Amino acid sequence: MLHAGGFRQTTEELLSAIVCNIDVENCMCSRCPACPGKDALMTILESALDMDKVEDFHVENRIAGIRRILEKIVLSSSKFSEQFLGTVKDLKMHHFISKQQAKFLQEIKTRRKMRGRFLF
């Protein structure tokens, strides 16, 4: 979805636009009242994609199931922005949890090596 309109921001840049601090649990879990939220991201989205000039976005969507299917769909600019904002919002908590899990596993490995044992 990021590449549908030539959007160049990274995932971290997008997440940083909707939260105060990408490393703080309350911000990433939608519990911080001071976070800018999706309105800030909408402003970035509109300016980056020049939404007024683009009528339709051609998007490839993966459908999960027994076999993975790549579905090509065309979305209006309003529908695209709605789906995009929802996707980034859903990604926010997932991103934080995955980073914390990786950090935890690295700490476990380091502790095990220091004791002379290996986890894996």
Q: Residue 16 falls within a domain, yes or no?
A: yes
Going residue by residue through the chain, which has 120 residues, state the pLDDT in tens, using 9 for 90 and above: 555 555 677 888 889 999 999 999 999 999 999 999 888 888 888 877 776 677 888 888 878 776 778 889 898 888 888 888 888 888 999 999 999 999 999 998 888 877 765 555
H/E segment holding residue 28: helix 25-28
Q: Residue 51 falls within a domain, yes or no?
A: yes
Count of structural domains, the chain? 1
Q: Residue 3 falls within a domain, yes or no?
A: no
Greatest C-alpha distance within the chain: 62
Q: Residue 1 falls within a domain, yes or no?
A: no
18 and 36 Cβ atoms separated by less than 8 Å: yes
Tell me the one-letter amino acid at 50.
D
Domain of 65 in residue numbering reads as: 11-115
> What pLDDT, in 10s, does the model give residues 24-47?
999 999 999 999 988 888 888 887
Strand, helix or coil for residue 48:
helix
Query: Is pTM, for the whole model, over 0.75?
Result: no
Q: Residue 45 falls within a domain, yes or no?
A: yes
The torsion region of residue 37 among left (phi > 0), alpha (psi -120 to 50) and beta comes to left
